[in-house]
Structure 1
Amino acid sequence: MLFEVICKKKQYIDCELENSSRAIFWNWVIENKINTQDIAIFVININKLFELTKQDWLEINEKNIVRIFENIEPSTIDSILVQKSSDLESINKYVNRHNLKINIYKGNQGKIKNILNGKEA
Structure 2
Amino acid sequence: MKSDKKSLKDKFLFWRADKDDILNENELDSFFKTLFVNAGSEKEIVLELIKKRGIKSFLFYTDVRNIWYILKNGIQPTQEIILNEDENYYVWGYHQKQDSNNLDFDISSRAHFWKWAGDTNIETNKFCVIAIDPQKLAKTTTKDWIFDRSFGMINIIESIHFDTIKWILIRDEQYYNYAKKIIYELGLEIELYLSHDGLVKIGE
TM-score by structure 2 length?
A: 0.47
Counterpart contact for 1:18–1:64, Cα < 8 Å: no
* Identity of matched residues, %: 21
User: For 1:18-37, what aligned pairs fall within 5 Å after superposition?
Assistant: 19-20=107-108, 24-25=109-110, 29=114, 33=118, 36-37=124-125
Of structures 1 and 2, the one scoring higher in RCO (CA 8 A, sep 6+) is 2
Determine if the alignment matches structure 1 residue 3 to structure 2 residue 91.
no
Distance 1:9 1:35, change over 3 A: closer
Match of 1:53 among 141, 154, 163: 141
Range that drifts further, 67-76 or 28-37 = 28-37
Distance 2:187 2:181 in 1: 10
How far is 1:68 from its partner?
A: 0.9
User: The residue matched to 1:62 in structure 2 has which SS?
Assistant: coil
Distance 1:81 1:88 in 2: 8
Distance 1:13 1:31 in 2: 16
TM-score by structure 1 length?
A: 0.73
Q: Partner residue of 2:174?
A: 86
Higher CA-based Rg: 2
Can you give the 5+ residue segments of structure 1 that lack an aligned partner in the other structure? Answer: 117-121
Distance 1:83 1:62, change over 3 A: closer
Distance 2:201 2:107 in 1: 25
Paired residues in the alignment total: 113
User: The residue matched to 1:15 in structure 2 has which SS?
Assistant: strand
* Bigger share in helix: 2
Q: Partner residue of 1:119?
A: none
Range that drifts further, 30-39 or 58-67 = 30-39
Counterpart contact for 1:42–1:80, Cα < 8 Å: yes
Aligned-residue RMSD, C-alpha: 2.8
* Bigger share in strand: 1
Match of 1:63 among 131, 137, 151: 151
